[in-house]
């Protein structure tokens, strides 16, 4: 103790009597502090969609598995579709571990991910229920995905942030939506702050579609400003629209122009847009207006293929046409524990599996209606016959056929699966 006191008394570094630095006389004013650097990163000028686009082989395999149930002509058209880039959805708790394999497979090609893990996503709707269990868990998912992307510094990544969430913040007036508005705002700003501050990521915030929000561009712009203000370190390159929907490109672009003008009026400039064209091959304006059915709309056809800067002269705001929703991955089902009544409507394609599952008959229907794939595509009949269920040999035994191909048991009768906690037969089409 005495030694400590002795050293403290001799020290020139602690206490009010500490001498000034001899190189800086006490009577001279201190240097002016440097102006603070802006916290927002410079907005990225490169459109990553102009780069070669990554083809998700999982989607290609799904199409390959359905070729045997197509005519030779449709098979050739389907093979063209296999060359179209689609987005990779990060939508379940194991999704962060799926990021690295896609980045590794992509190499120098651009990968497009969709972050779809917000807590109580879609305000807890049945077909798409899920997401992180709470905000902290969501932040952990975001951080994990960002860390993986950073470990591939040469990768080029587009990150679409939480489809439908902003739309529900504007129009969601149910108790289920109102109760999570502040949570969703905080989650969106966090994702923007992280992904929008990465050198090899272009972040896009989803803004629904023109039928949903085209009437309220000013409201959308005001909410965007609030979200960006609460993301001090991040910024977005732009916005996605029409994700998992069917709207015509020209009508979506009119929405883009309205929203861009509203954003510029409040000081948010230079933003770009991407539009989901996967199921926009047929003008569904009249059909959609009847019920606004979002679930596996029966009138849909495969749309324009994914590509960057599709029409720079006439649509300069567009970064890309892109298949953000991989067509024929189901929107939802009218059966089972996740059944949604919208999926039971007459204008929803019948027999759909749960959301995200491959829906072969719907794919074939959209391919038949599409004017974009195959030399004779434009000459197809205006309205192909509605699908008929294939014969199911298991019905004679008192069991239905499965809507999936996952085999749990095999006997002399054939392969068996489980659906809704009941046995079902694996169809011959698998």
92 marked ligand binding residue: no
Domain residue ranges of the chain, discontinuous segments joined by +: 48-369, 395-425
CATH of the structural domain 48-369, one choice from 2.40.50.140, 3.20.20.40, 3.10.150.10, 3.40.50.720: 3.20.20.40
The pLDDT assigned to 127 comes to: 62
HSE (CB half, 13 Å, CA atoms) of 325? 34
325 marked ligand binding residue: yes
Domain at 395-425: CATH code: 3.90.1220.10
Tokens at 28, concatenated? 């001279």
Distance CA 204, CA 206 (A): 6
Residue whose C-alpha is closest to residue 121's, from 83, 100, 92: 92
The pLDDT assigned to 37 comes to: 42
The pLDDT assigned to 299 comes to: 96
Tokens at 70, concatenated? 């197509």
Tokens at 298, concatenated? 């029966």
Full strand arrangement of the beta sheet holding 409-411: 409-411, 414-419, 422-425
**119 SS3 class:** coil
242 marked ligand binding residue: no
Asked whether the beta carbons of 244 and 174 are under 8 A apart, the reply is no
**323 SS3 class:** strand
Cβ-count burial 26-61 (b if 16+ within 10 Å, e if not): eeeeeeeeeeeeeeeeeebeebbbeeebbbbeebbe
Number of Cβ within a 10 Å radius of residue 307: 15
Residue whose C-alpha is closest to residue 360's, from 370, 352, 368: 352
The pLDDT assigned to 126 comes to: 58
Cα–Cα separations (whole angstroms), residue 228 to 153, 193, 194: 25, 8, 12
The pLDDT assigned to 138 comes to: 96
Residue whose C-alpha is closest to residue 54's, from 114, 107, 115: 107
209 marked ligand binding residue: yes
Q: Catalytic residue positions?
A: 164, 331
The pLDDT assigned to 398 comes to: 80
Each residue's pLDDT tens digit in the chain (430 positions)?
A: 888 888 888 888 887 544 444 343 344 444 444 444 444 555 567 999 999 999 999 999 999 999 999 999 999 999 999 999 999 999 989 999 999 999 999 999 999 999 999 998 877 665 666 789 999 999 999 999 999 999 999 999 999 999 999 999 999 888 888 889 999 999 999 999 999 999 999 999 999 999 999 999 999 999 999 999 999 999 999 999 999 999 999 999 999 999 999 999 999 999 999 999 999 999 999 999 999 999 999 999 999 999 999 999 999 999 999 999 999 999 999 898 888 999 999 999 999 999 999 999 999 999 999 999 985 444 443 444 444 445 688 887 888 888 777 777 777 778 877 777 678 888 877 7
The pLDDT assigned to 318 comes to: 98
Long-range contacts of 131-136 (CB under 8 A, 24+ apart): 132/93, 135/183, 135/186, 135/187, 135/190
Distance CA 236, CA 256 (A): 15
Full strand arrangement of the beta sheet holding 272-276: 88-90, 110-115, 156-161, 201-206, 238-241, 272-276, 318-322, 307-308
Distance CA 172, CA 244 (A): 18
294 marked ligand binding residue: yes
Q: Partners of 315 in the beta sheet?
A: none
The pLDDT assigned to 353 comes to: 94
48-369 matches 395-425 in fold = no
The pLDDT assigned to 5 comes to: 84
pLDDT tens digit string along 108-157? Answer: 999 999 999 999 887 766 566 678 999 999 999 999 999 999 999 999 99
């Amino acid at each position: 103790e005495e030694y400590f006191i002795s050293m403290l008394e001799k020290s020139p570094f602690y206490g009010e009597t500490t001498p000034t630095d001899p190189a800086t006389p006490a009577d001279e004013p201190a240097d002016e502090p440097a102006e603070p650097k802006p916290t927002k990163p410079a907005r990225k000028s490169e459109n990553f969609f102009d780069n070669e686009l990554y083809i998700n082989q999982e989607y290609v395999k799904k199409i390959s598995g359905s070729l045997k149930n197509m005519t030779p002509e449709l098979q050739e058209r389907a093979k063209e579709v296999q060359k179209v880039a689609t987005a990779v959805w990060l939508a379940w708790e194991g999704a962060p571990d799926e990021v690295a394999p896609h980045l590794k497979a992509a190499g120098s090609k651009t990968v497009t991910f969709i972050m779809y893990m917000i807590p109580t996503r879609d305000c807890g709707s049945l077909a798409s229920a899920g997401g992180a269990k709470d905000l902290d868990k969501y932040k952990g998912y975001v951080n994990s995905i960002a860390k993986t992307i950073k470990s591939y510094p040469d990768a080029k990544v587009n990150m679409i942030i939480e489809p439908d969430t902003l739309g529900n913040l504007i129009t969601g007036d149910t108790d289920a939506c109102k109760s999570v508005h502040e949570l969703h705002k905080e989650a969106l700003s966090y994702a923007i702050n992280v992904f929008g501050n990465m050198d090899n990521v272009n972040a896009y915030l989803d803004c629904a579609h023109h039928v949903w929000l085209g009437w309220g561009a000013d409201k959308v712009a005001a909410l965007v400003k609030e979200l960006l203000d609460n993301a001090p370190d991040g910024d977005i390159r732009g916005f996605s629209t029409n994700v998992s929907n069917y709207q015509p490109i020209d009508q979506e672009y009119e929405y883009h122009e309205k929203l861009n003008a509203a954003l510029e009026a409040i000081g948010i400039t230079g933003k770009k847009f991407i539009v989901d064209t996967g199921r926009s091959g047929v003008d569904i304006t009249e059909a959609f207006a009847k019920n606004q059915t979002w679930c596996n709309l029966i009138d849909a056809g495969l749309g324009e293929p994914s590509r960057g800067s599709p029409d720079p002269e006439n649509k300069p705001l567009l970064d890309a046409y892109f298949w953000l929703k991989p067509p024929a991955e189901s929107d939802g089902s009218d059966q089972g524990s996740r059944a949604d009544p919208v999926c039971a409507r007459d204008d929803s394609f019948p027999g759909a599996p749960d959301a995200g599952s491959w829906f072969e008959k719907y794919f074939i229907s959209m391919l038949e209606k599409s004017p974009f794939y195959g030399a004779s595509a434009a000459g197809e009949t205006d309205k192909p016959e509605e699908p008929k269920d294939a014969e199911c040999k298991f019905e004679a035994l008192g069991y239905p056929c499965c809507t999936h191909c996952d085999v749990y048991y095999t006997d002399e009768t054939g392969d068996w699966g489980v659906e809704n906690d009941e046995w079902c037969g694996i169809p011959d089409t698998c």
